[in-house]
């Protein structure tokens, strides 16, 4: 895709028109506000630099893009003003190799050098690192030559000494600090500058589209012991196991790392029979965290507090859990048992689309379901609180 071309001149109006066109083109290219602002900054520096170099600037400016790869094109008719061209020629004759500092001065010298290289081919030797395809040699005139210089090629091929001496101060330039590449070429009396920048595709925020429950993670201190424990408690079977898995981006207990670090963990995925629930057991080897589980009281505020499983044999399940080692009921009384939810009246149930006092069949049905539920709670050896319940036919169905 290509934007409309803007005619170049040394007037302020030219720059304003170019910025407005880049704004429109960036919107058509699907760039967000931040990316569009970057395109505007690059445009402003390109035009300012060129109109400073060329006292009588005549040419065109436009933007091209494809799949978030953007290019700003600027073509201007040369030669550079006589004073600058003559100064460069004089310097070339005297073989003065003073360093050229800054992007603007570098590109100005490139333009002048390319335009007069037919008379002074030795110019190429001084900036050879940046020419694509190497240094043109043995060419008596510029008539059939289209030299192309690339900043990225220069930075790749130039020695550290050349970079320091010739490009000192470049890091302060918007072009070199933001752009992926700056390409300068000359054909006959026309100069072209192309600034390239690739952006990451814009991802718009949207509500997650859930398809189901993936898993619940339980952090353990010893994987073999944990697998054995949950096999006895829930009758689980290991689906698959990662003994020592390394990955970046892990967090440490108590907060996230400021930078991604390599973590090493053991992971086992176990399924709970009769359900679609998968437990992910995870043991950290690196970075190390607290190894003693925190046992919260049932009424403590601490985020997600329990996992509830439906059962059809609540009394037998209670007897099984109660005899499990390293497992505690939330009530230490000997009289603790599966309890039935207190009788619930329809008027005690409220749906969000109902006004005060409104009751319909939904209230009656829900009250009937709640009144028939029996449940109990316990805390496993790793601090996770569980609820086993019998009688639900709505939640999760």
162-177 tens-digit pLDDT:
554 444 444 445 566 7
Percent residues over pLDDT 90 in the chain: 20
Query: What is the chain's length?
Result: 397
Could you read off the pLDDT of 228-254 as tens digits, one per residue?
999 999 998 887 777 777 665 454 444
Could you read off the pLDDT of 81-137 as tens digits, one per residue?
566 556 545 544 443 344 445 555 556 666 655 555 555 555 544 444 555 554 444
Average pLDDT of the segment spanning 27-40:
92
pLDDT for the residue numbered 253: 44
Both structure tokens of 339 = 């309890």
- Cis peptide, bond prior to residue 79, ω within 30 of zero: yes
Q: Which residue has the higher pLDDT, 185 or 324?
A: 324
Q: What gap in Å lies between CA 262 and CA 364, rounded to an integer?
A: 54
What's the count of helices (H) and strands (E) in the chain, helices before strands? 11, 15
Parallel/antiparallel/unpaired status of strands 306-310 and 385-390: parallel
pLDDT, mean over the chain: 76
pLDDT for the residue numbered 147: 67
pLDDT for the residue numbered 277: 87
Phi, psi angle pair for 78, to nearest 5°: -105, 180
pTM: 0.52
* R_g of the chain, CA atoms, integer Å: 36
Q: What gap in Å lies between CA 21 and CA 1, rounded to an integer?
A: 13
């Amino acid at each position: 895709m290509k934007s409309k071309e803007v005619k170049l001149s040394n007037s302020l109006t030219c720059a304003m028109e170019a910025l407005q066109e880049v704004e429109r083109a960036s919107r058509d290219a699907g760039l967000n506000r931040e990316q569009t602002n970057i395109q505007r900054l690059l445009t402003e520096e390109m035009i300012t630099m060129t109109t400073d170099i060329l006292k009588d600037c005549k040419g065109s400016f436009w933007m091209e893009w494809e799949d978030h790869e953007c290019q700003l094109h600027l073509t201007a008719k040369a030669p550079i003003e006589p004073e600058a061209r003559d100064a460069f020629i004089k310097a070339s004759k005297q073989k003065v190799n003073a360093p050229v500092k800054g992007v603007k001065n570098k590109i100005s010298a490139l333009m002048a050098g390319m335009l007069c290289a037919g008379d002074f081919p030795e110019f190429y030797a001084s900036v050879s690192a940046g020419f694509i395809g190497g240094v043109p040699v043995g060419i008596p005139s510029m008539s059939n030559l289209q030299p192309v210089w690339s900043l990225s090629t220069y930075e790749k091929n130039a020695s550290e000494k050349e970079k320091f001496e010739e490009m000192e101060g470049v890091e302060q330039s918007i072009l070199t600090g933001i752009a992926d590449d700056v390409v300068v070429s000359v054909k006959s009396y026309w100069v072209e500058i192309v600034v390239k920048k690739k952006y990451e595709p814009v991802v718009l925020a949207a509500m997650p589209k859930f398809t189901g429950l993936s898993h619940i993670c339980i952090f353990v201190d010893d994987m073999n012991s944990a697998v054995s424990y949950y096999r006895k408690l829930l009758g689980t079977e290991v689906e698959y196991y990662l003994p020592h898995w390394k990955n970046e981006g892990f967090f440490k207990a108590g907060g996230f790392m400021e930078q991604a670090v390599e973590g090493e963990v053991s992971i086992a995925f176990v399924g709970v029979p009769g359900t679609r629930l998968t437990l992910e057991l995870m043991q950290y080897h690196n970075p190390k965290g607290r190894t003693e589980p925190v046992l919260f009281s049932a009424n403590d505020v601490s985020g997600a507090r329990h996992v509830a499983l439906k059962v059809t044999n609540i009394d037998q399940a209670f007897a099984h859990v109660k005899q499990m080692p390293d497992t505690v009921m939330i009530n230490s009384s000997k009289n603790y048992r599966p309890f039935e939810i207190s009788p619930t009246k329809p008027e005690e149930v409220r749906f969000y689309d109902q006004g005060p006092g409104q009751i319909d069949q939904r209230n009656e049905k829900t009250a009937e379901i709640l009144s028939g539920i029996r449940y109990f709670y316990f805390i496993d050896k790793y601090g996770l609180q569980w609820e086993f319940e019998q009688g639900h036919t709505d939640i999760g169905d």
